[in-house]
Amino acid sequence: MKTLVVFDFDYTVVNDNSDTWVIRCLPDQSLPDSLTQSYQKGQWTAYMGRVMSYIGDQAVSPASVRSVMETIPFTDGMTELLTFISEHKSTIDCIVISDSNTIFIDWILQAAGVQAAVDHVFTNPARFDERGYMEVQRHHLHDCTRCPVNLCKRKVLEVYLAERRAERGVEYRCTFYVGDGGNDLCPTSCLRGSDVVMPRKGFTLEKLLVKLKDNDLVSLKARVVAWSSGSEILHELKTSVSA
């Protein structure tokens, strides 16, 4: 019986938005208004494809993009938390479900030396083409009306849990879901009473969970524990693992 930790990435593992952080690699660190105004709600992946195409047009090399992405700050206490997880892989599994992309997340985790903590990253696939332009694709197709068109985190989590159960007979004694944003609300609906949802204090997920509780529109079975640093998550995790 292992413990599963599920992380969002932006404003959770790292203390900024990785997709907007990349703009720092541009000479003037800004995008033209015509590009920023092209974003349509729920179509973030398509928008980021245009952003990365523009960055390629400015002759910014993949190496330059990587050097900028590796400077994004981690949220306080997160590297210590991930280090603890990497040292306890016999009892703790860890996945990331994010609306960022595979390249950014891999670069950032590797630069911090904490990639060993994460067993799998579920995010939008990205690659550099023959010109050195980064292309981003949708993670998957889904029919959830509450989530962005490219990613339903609940579906990802449900499939992961089912596959672990079918392939290796793994049943997690406790799942910790750690996030901050509106797209982190949907996966909390598949958590059990033995699980813990951990919203970042002062961010959207915490506010949505408060409204959920007040309106009692949907039954949330998991315990809610808000956090402001990785050390608070680590305390909860250590308490659960040692119980």
Each residue's pLDDT tens digit, 106-138 = 999 999 999 999 999 999 999 999 999 999 988
pTM: 0.94
Position 184 scores a pLDDT of 96
**Domain ranges (residues) in the chain:** 3-15+73-124+139-242, 20-69
Query: May I ask the CATH architecture of the domain 3-15+73-124+139-242?
Result: 3-Layer(aba) Sandwich (3.40)
Tell me which residues are annotated as active site: 8, 10
Residue 53 class from Cβ within 10 Å (0-12 exposed, 13-18 middle, 19+ buried)?
middle
User: Would you state the pLDDT for residue 142?
Assistant: 75
Q: What are phi and psi of 140, to 5 degrees?
A: -165, 175
For the stretch 186-241, pLDDT in tens is: 999 999 999 999 999 999 999 999 988 766 555 689 999 999 999 999 999 999 98
| Mean pLDDT of the 126-153 span | 87
Write 20-29 long-range contacts (CB < 8 A, 24+).
Answer: 21/68, 21/69, 21/72, 22/51, 22/52, 22/55, 22/65, 22/68, 22/69, 22/104, 23/51, 24/68, 24/71, 25/55, 25/60, 25/64, 25/65, 25/67, 25/68, 25/69, 26/55, 26/58, 26/60, 27/58
Mean pLDDT of the chain: 93
Which of 108, 144, 82, 80 shows the shortest CA–CA distance to 19?
Answer: 108
